Structure 1
């Protein structure tokens, strides 16, 4: 399913559920089951709940600059230096139609992440209708994309160079854990609103940083040359862990043994993949839906 369709669906569900929750009347404190009205006991919603998360991650683009090919610290090649390696330069000249020379005219300057699906698991211990402790684990696979520009002579003999864009991209996996306090904002009923907040931890596994020229593709991830013959190697980055906090506002619908939450989560984190740039704390947003199963239905 297209990511934009999922995003629009989540937004429509959120608006509908929020409207339904706000218009709830006092008689919603009861629900019909087999033609009998049963009072919803605020103390009865108690025990463990388990569920699944499906979200649409809207990342802050600051960390994506790590993949733009610029300097990433002493000892590692930037894109300009990488292109000057004899073997690489010869191959790229071939891809440019056997051009006599070329130069890097512009680094990627608008490196951005692609919005991505977030999937995960949810565990909750409900003390009563109003209060709960929640644990979420969400996995996100992110891709950053942009273009750099090479300039090379025009083969028709004019003095005007040809400027051509070539793609450069990075890929990373993020695993996010959060432990939060969940608070119902309305009295017991079939629909309600809730607020949630707490600390979170994000682990990032940088998978690749590649660029392409014609049919050739190259890895520039922490690239180095070693030995007298300038052998090219890539150094892997260990898994990086960052701490932050989150808050979210949502609406929920109550069924027999299930709760459906539609929420908007905002995370506040400092992620510094690029050691050359001073990291800043930035916001990430995730509209998300939860389907939660109650092990007990006492009081419903």
Structure 2
């Protein structure tokens, strides 16, 4: 059945919310876009006149498409080359969705997206719909075809898993920027000691190259190991310049609501380093260098003016 302009407008009005849900569920902007497009095709094929609550119908279709995607994604990630990290979204990207409450901001943070990978598909769906979008348990239960009591149990289990993995309190934006500046100064000093002082004892650094850009298969763990890696990462090298096509300009911005260091070569984003900063120090670096997961970041970067970089990385 052909859609009327009113039907198309109703879907387009829901698109931003659907994309924000799909991104949190899948951790991939490109897969989120595909899921929303498939939802549109289902909308196009449906007998819309018989759909009582279009918003609820669209959310149910999208969520179940994402659940199917998550199930198959788990199998694909078992054969993924190296570490798998979510696709970062730079500040200002509409796919980040609502950020009015602490729960909404946290649900899309890079640290929490990484933690959500440990949840089952149903746990992830319940957590996202409840925490980020405030859906009541009754509606979530209807979306997932489970009882309301089961939905509440799944939610509490998912929330505990996330809380257990993220026990420390993050710092405010001004403090985070100061620490980032101190980190960059230390990383380019050629010395390890200043870096160690900025890190928590159990700091980690994880890189995702997707087999397309060299990245260590295992995370660096512990303040000293991470500090040595960061010192080497910013050390000038012809080989590194050849690998990325030049000497990257370093910018400090935000990604997924948190501090991020972005490396840019000739206008192209070649790396996004999401930095998790707690009251105890820098707890984690999550470095996305897989070009497939930087396409959306590049589109947004090209559409905005970021001025000069702080310095050339190497």
TM-score range for the pair, normalised by the shorter chain length: under 0.3
- Greater relative contact order structure (CA < 8 Å, 6+ sep): 1
* TM-score under structure 2 length normalisation: 0.24
Tell me which structure has the larger Cα radius of gyration: 1
Flag the structure with higher helix content: 2
Flag the structure with higher strand content: 1
